Amino acid sequence: MADKAFDVIVIGGGPAGSVCAAALADHGHSVAVLERQEFPRFHIGESMLPYMIGLLERLDLLDAVGKQGYVVKRGGEFIDPTGTKFVTPGVYRADFSKQGEGRHSETFQVERAHFDQVLLEKARANGAEVITGASVRDLVMTGDRITGVRYRHEGGEHEISASFVVDASGRAGTIANRFGLRKTTDGLRMVAVFRHYEGLDERHNPGHEGDIQIGSHADGWVWAIPLSGDKVSVGTVMPRAVFREAVKEDVFAEHVARIPRIVQRLSGTRPSTEFRVEADYCYHADEVTGPGWLMAGDAGCFGDPMFSGGTLVAMVTAARAADTITRVLADPGAERALTDEYANFFKTGYDTYVRLIFAFYQSELISAVADASTVVERENLEMYMVRLLGGDFWSEHNPIAQALRANTAWRTFAPFRPVFGCPVYPELDAADRAEVAAARP
């Protein structure tokens, strides 16, 4: 028998779980958050996109996050010596001030241990019951419906019930693994090796202070992300075949050395953490909802850290999950229609983001921009590119996103009906869509 009953159980206290729980509690629902780890804890994914600021603003989280003193990011530097990966050879800077009026031109670089705790505390402050150190052991089923969760906490076994369960467990994929739903995304089986450094002095930066640097080379790419104080996160991403033939310390040093602008920025720094390795992190599930449950964020899909969109897409889907569940609890008879709509929304954003990643790895981003140039004025191309790199994954009329969606080889999910409409700037998106429609002959 359940120890306690809630309206909603959220598995996972990362950004997706925290945002979903905070929104649900704010709507007056009783919510339990089961988080396996104790916070703060390390997590990769430190560079945010500018659409994140608009999202935080809509979720009433911007004040809480903005006062934390995070590094301000006003653009991204993409280094491409070959001229095959990005829109211009050499160095291309995505300047976030070029998105057009009304959109935020700044975002943050964060240490996720701190950022994630801020979000989790917001969920607790809104009224969610947050239990850290809670290891989910099993899902409680009533027929084919999930109606609760069994978990272990402080040496004891517990069971709680709920009208709805949200899987925001990230790579752990509680529901996906229970039902055998997770699939590896072919073509994106990569390995990341990374660590932090201290002693960063941005006077050595040949680019713009606060920007992320992404350096492409023949065997993958390298990132450098300035964090709070004098810290910087540095990582190298490569295919599994490259990693298998190397020692992690050696391949890391050799790959970083291939990007002189990053080497220059790191002048005078020293390692402050051990190496960490993440492998085979690109996956998806075709089913992200079911009777009494849905997935939010990385529990249902993860692409690649290439364009820093993972946290944004996770939080957007989490916010939409909370809205969907609120509507389901108010009208249980509409559950199937509402959760189907949510699933299509989830897939639309992730599918667009993963297509952008495929375009980079397959050196097709330049071709996508060229295709877009046939339907939009050239002076507007950079605006649409910066928007896409900034998190514009749900807009139907972004011509570069349209070009990416036309490539059937980059489909992440089984066929689905897209749900378009920017969840961050819906009013601006609607106005842009009307303007584009009016301009058609």
CATH at 398: 3.50.50.60
In the chain, what's the furthest Cα-to-Cα distance? Answer: 68
DSSP H stretches of helix in 208-309: 240-244, 248-257, 260-265
Question: Which pLDDT value is given to residue 152?
Answer: 97
H/E stretch holding 307 reads none
Q: Which token pair is 317? A: 């889907």
> Could you report the average pLDDT of every consecutive run of 10 residues in the chain (441 residues)?
90 98 98 95 90 96 93 96 83 96 96 94 97 97 98 96 98 96 87 96 97 95 93 94 88 97 98 91 94 98 90 97 98 98 98 95 92 86 96 96 95 96 96 80 62
Judge if 291 and 318 occupy the same domain: yes
By residue count, the chain amounts to: 441
> Number of structural domains, the chain?
2
Say what the pLDDT of residue 1 is: 60
Distance CA 332, CA 319 (A): 19
Of residues 63, 128, 52, 32, the one with CA closest to residue 316? 52
User: Are 229 and 104 within one domain?
Assistant: yes
Range of the domain at 288: 1-70+110-189+280-441
Same domain (yes/no): 269, 214: yes
Domain boundary among 279, 294, 314: 279
Which domain-ending residue is among 246, 262, 279?
279
pLDDT for the residue 244:
84
From CA 412, how far away is CA 408, in angstroms rounded?
Answer: 9
Pair (266, 308) in one structural domain: no
Residues 180 and 315 in one domain: yes
Residues 138 and 195 in one domain: no
Is there a single domain that holds both residue 13 and residue 158?
yes
CATH number at residue 230: 3.30.9.100
Q: What is the DSSP letter of 414?
A: S
- Cβ neighbours around 271 below 10 Å, total: 12
Query: Is 309 in the same domain as 199?
Result: no
Phi and psi torsions of 126, nearest 5°? -75, -10
Shared-domain flag, residues 61 and 162: yes
Distances in whole angstroms, Cα of residue 83 to Cα of each of 76, 80, 86, 192, 401? 17, 6, 7, 23, 21
Contacts of 260 (CB under 8 A, 6+ apart): none
Instruction: Based on the fold, state whether residues 357 and 441 are members of the same structural domain.
Output: yes
Q: Are residues 309 and 439 in the same domain?
A: yes
- The pLDDT of residue 317 is 98
Closest Cα to residue 368, out of 407, 338, 397, 311? 407
The CA-CA-CA angle for residues 301, 315, 23, to 5°, reads 130
User: In terms of domains, do 213 and 292 share one?
Assistant: no
What is the amino acid identity at position 44? I
Alpha carbon distance 271, 197 (integer Å)? 4
Out of 279, 302, 323, pick the residue that ends a domain.
279
* Cis status of the peptide bond prior to 40, with omega within 30 of 0: yes
pTM (2 d.p.): 0.96
Please say whether the beta carbons of 23 and 323 come within 8 A.
yes
What pLDDT, on a 0 to 100 scale, did the predictor assign at position 441?
Answer: 62
8 Å CB contact between 19 and 119: yes
